[in-house]
Structure 1
Amino acid sequence: MVSIRRASIDDLFAMQAANLLCLPENYQMKYYFYHILSWPQLSYVAEAANGKIVGYVLAKMEDDAPPEDAHGHITSLAVLRSHRKLGLATKLMQQSRGSFIPTSISNRAAEKSMLETYDALYVSLHVRVGNRVALKLYKDTLGFSIHETEEKYYADNEDAYAMRKYLKERTTSEEPDSTKGVKKNNTRRK
């Protein structure tokens, strides 16, 4: 059995190990600390019955966004190959995403905290254009949509889809541009 719980500082080395095993985009330990210390209610781990961390989602608020565009960002999501096809990525994303939004049917402390503290309009993430499995998860299962394509986003120059999932209704001034633009040679923001 695998359970989903909020990540703690004690989980960071296991999260980094999962990242190194699963993804080509890797981060220094200080980046994990930055997330956990700055936004402790946003990152979650999937923990097997034996205590092993088998997946994680690392999330943050975009701290350079103006208040009217407050939004969260999924920095990294990984599930060990041995634990894929169990719905863990979906559960991790839903748990983290739930922390960004208010809900009338749940009074979980994390959701209440996110509403009172951040009032996020949407959650964003980047995915490699060639990662069809992740793209299907984000679009078809989790309801994200492609906002734009960012050319040469990754270190190996692969393009990324910048994706968003809106968490509350937007006003007319917040509607996205219908011409989905392409940012060229974008500086990587995570």
Structure 2
Amino acid sequence: MDIRVIRASDIPHVQTANITNLPENYFCKYYLYHAQSWPQLSYVAVDSQISFFQSLLAKPSLVQFPSSTSLLDTGFHRSSLRSASKSRWDFRPPIPQPLLLARQTRKHVLTPSKVSRPPKSPYDPPKIVGYVLAKMEEDPADGIQHGHITSLSVMRTHRRLGLAEKLMRQSQRAMAETFGAHYVSLHVRVSNMAALKLYRDTLGFEVEKTESKYYADGEDAFSMRMDLSSLRQAMIDEDGSDEDEGEPVGSMGKKDGAANPEKEKETKRKVKVGRALGVGELVEKNESQKA
């Protein structure tokens, strides 16, 4: 599973996920508007590895079985068909399909080589299983720079994996880091209890107000908001944690240099070095000591 910034080539697949899961749908140019105006805020979850069993469930006709194997079971065995008129106890209940498949393929192990599908190439489109579409409010009514979550969706096959939370947190961090957003807002249906649990209990959003008949079908919406000040402070602390390990250079590098000039004078001492330290002074000093 990979979470990355949305690309222009992802927009048709993002729109497919939106139409599949949500009643609020948008045109492709609306997604492109978000991707081009705020390219750092919208993210997608890509499932690059599709398991063999998922492909088997999606297209069971692609599985090739030996010619002697038959997957049809009507519930009557050949012996019971011949003696069906003799006894009514010859009827046997149908075998469950998973048990039947395991029994008839006992000697034939299903492996990816049994599936007749072309191998995956770099030109295959990515499998978008989730996305978050976000933007910055261009003309905020309160005059405070903040972001807004336009749409969030995860495919049913990939839910309960924490993808929605990861997508939201990545977008929120980009809002605070790139645009200096103070908070993020969104709208959610009053009846969408799963989304309310995610926003309120997991992410920490608070209901600011209820907007009547916000959606096209007349349903009310909760206007929710989350403060990003703690996230911004955490990023500042992370930046300030990298202290310089070198020695202080100059007056700007010394912590007490400007505050205590007298202390700095006390530590200074005039010494002679090089040619200033002559031999004559040493001779005179020695003679005076002898005298």
TM-score (norm 2): 0.52
Q: For residues 32 and 216 of structure 2, what CA distance do their matches in structure 1 show?
A: 22
Q: For residues 20 and 147 of structure 1, what CA distance do their matches in structure 2 show?
A: 28
Residue in structure 2 matching 1:89, options 164, 177, 182: 164
Task: Give every structure 1 segment of 4 or more consecutive aligned residues whose post-TM-superposition deviation is greater than 2 Å.
Answer: none
Q: For residues 151 and 89 of structure 1, what CA distance do their matches in structure 2 show?
A: 26
Q: For residues 15 and 64 of structure 1, what CA distance do their matches in structure 2 show?
A: 27
- Other-structure match for 1:19: 18
Change (3 A) 1:81 1:13: same
In the TM superposition, what are the counterparts of 1:113-152 in structure 2 within 5 Å? Answer: 114=178, 118-152=179-213
1:158-190 Cα offsets, whole Å, 9 max, x none, are: 000000001117xxxxxxxxxxxxxxxxxxxxx
Q: For residues 92 and 22 of structure 1, what CA distance do their matches in structure 2 show?
A: 16
Corresponding residue SS for 2:175: coil
1:108-164 Cα offsets, whole Å, 9 max, x none, are: xxx3xx1xxx22111000000000000000000000000110000000000000000
- Other-structure match for 1:174: none
- Other-structure match for 2:32: 33
Q: For residues 95 and 147 of structure 1, what CA distance do their matches in structure 2 show?
A: 23
Unaligned segments of structure 2, at least 5 residues: 50-125, 231-291
Corresponding residue SS for 1:100: helix
- Other-structure match for 1:176: none
TM-score (norm 1): 0.78
Shift, 1:54, TM fit:
0.3
Shift, 1:57, TM fit:
0.1
Residue in structure 2 matching 1:167, options 203, 225, 228: 228
Q: Which amino acid aligns with 2:41?
A: L
Compare the two structures and name the one with the higher strand fraction: 1
Unaligned segments of structure 1, at least 5 residues: 102-110, 170-190
Compare the two structures and name the one with the higher helix fraction: 2
Q: Percent identity?
A: 59
Larger Rg: 2
